[in-house]
Amino acid sequence: MTMPTWYTSVEGNARRRGGGPSRRVVELLAAVLFVVLVAGAWSAGLLSSSRIGITPDGPDADVDTVADAGRATDGADGAGRPRVVVSMSTFAGRVQDANATIASLVDQDYPLDAIYLHVPPAIERLNISGTLTESDSAVLKFWDGRVSVRRPVDLGPTTKLIGALYAERDPNTIVITVDDDVVYRPDMVRGLVESMTARPKMLSTYGC
Ligand SMILES: *[C@@H]1O[C@H](CO)[C@@H](O)[C@H](O)[C@H]1NC(C)=O
Ligand SMILES: *[C@@H]1O[C@H](CO)[C@@H](O)[C@H](O)[C@H]1NC(C)=O
C-alpha cells in the first residue's frame, strides 16, 4: 500500500490551553516517532485492518456520520495543487471544547479538501462512553457540511492518522494531523504545504 504524505502538528504554532512547553516538545517528538513507526508498520504489512480488528471498508463502517463532505477521492483540484486534508480526533464530552480548534481549521487561508473529525463511539482505555452531550451535538450541527465527522473505533493516538488514511484514496494526499486543544494560526496549513513542497524529503514543522 502506498502511504499518503503526512505531517504532524508542532509545538508553538498556536495557542494551547494548558501544558508546559518542554512537555509539549517531548510529546511532539514521541508523537512523530510513533507515527513514523505506525506508518512503517502499515506499509510493511505488519499492521493491517484485519490485525487491528476493523473492517476493510474503514473503521467507521456502519456508523452514522454527521457530514461526509470531505470524502472525495479525486485527488488534486486540477490547479496543480496537492489534495490537502486536516485530521483530528476528540471524544464525546469534549467536542464542545474543540469548537475553537475546528473554527481555526475552517478559517485556514489555504483551501482544504477535507477536515476530518474523528469521535470514537467509546474509548475503553480511558473508560469514556461515546455518548455525545447536547453541546457536542450543537457543535457538530454547527459545522455540518464543512467538517466530515467520523465515528471510528478508537485506535489511540493513531485514530486521526489511520482514520484519514481510510478516507483518502490518493497516495499524494497531504494529511495534516492536529490536536483538539490548539487554536491554529490561519497560515498553519499554507506554511506546512509550502515547506513540504519546497523540501519534499524533509520533515516539515511549523512554529512561531
Ligand atoms: C468506568 O466508568 C463507569 C461509569 O463512570 C464506572 O462505573 C466504572 O467503575 C468505571 N470503570 C473503571 C474500570 O474505572
Ligand atoms: C463554534 O464556534 C463558532 C465559531 O467561533 C461559533 O460561531 C459557534 O457559535 C460555536 N458553536 C457552538 C455550538 O459553540
pLDDT at 15: 47
Q: Are residues 18 and 66 in the same domain?
A: no
**What's the pLDDT band for 83 if we cut at 50, 70, 90?**
very high
Average pLDDT over every residue of 86-109: 96
Task: Name the band, by pLDDT with cuts 50, 70 and 90, for residue 128.
Answer: confident
**With contact defined as beta carbons under 8 Å apart, do 163 and 60 qualify?**
yes
Residue 14 lies in a domain: yes
On whether the CB atoms of residues 176 and 84 are closer than 8 A, the answer is yes
Number of folded domains in the chain? 2
Coil vs helix vs strand at 57: coil
Supply the pLDDT for residue 14: 45
Q: Indicate whether 25 and 68 sit together in one domain.
A: no
Do 33 and 113 fall within a single domain?
A: no
Cβ–Cβ < 8 Å for 81, 126: no
Cβ contacts of residue 103 below 8 Å, gap of 6+? 183
Q: What is the structure's pLDDT at 200?
A: 86
Ligand 2 atom closest to the CA of 141, numbered from 1 = 13
Cell representation of residue 87: 485530521
pLDDT at 72 over 80: no
**Mean pLDDT across the chain, nearest whole number?**
74
Residues 142, 59, single domain; the answer is yes
Q: How far is the CA of 126 from the centre of ligand 1 (A)?
A: 9
Question: Is a pLDDT exceeding 70 seen at residue 2?
Answer: no
The CB of 144 under 6 Å from ligand 2? The reply is no
Same domain for 54 and 31?
Answer: no
Is 206 a member of any domain? no
The pLDDT, as a whole number, for residue 26 is 41
| Residue owning the nearest CA to atom 11 of ligand 2 | 139
Per-residue pLDDT at 79: 61
> Do 36 and 53 sit in the same domain of this protein?
no
Q: What is the pLDDT of residue 81?
A: 81
Q: Are residues 58 and 37 in the same domain?
A: no
**Is position 178 within any domain?**
yes
Q: What is the CATH number of the domain that holds 128?
A: 3.90.550
pTM above threshold 0.85: no
Domain shared by 74 and 26, yes or no: no
Q: Are residues 20 and 80 in the same domain?
A: no
CB distance 99 to ligand 2 below 6 Å = yes
Same domain, 181 and 106: yes
For residues 191-196, average pLDDT = 92
Per-residue pLDDT, averaged over 93-114, amounts to 96
Domain span holding position 16: 5-41
Residue 204 lies in a domain: no
Of the ligands numbered here, which is closest to the C-alpha atom of 147?
2
Check whether 42 has a pLDDT greater than 80.
no
Domain-located, residue 107: yes
74 and 155 co-located in one domain: yes
Q: For the residues 157-165, what does the mean pLDDT come to?
A: 94
- Helical ranges in the chain per DSSP H: 21-43, 99-106, 134-142, 159-167, 188-198
Show the cell assigned to 157. 493516538
Give the per-residue pLDDT at 78.
55
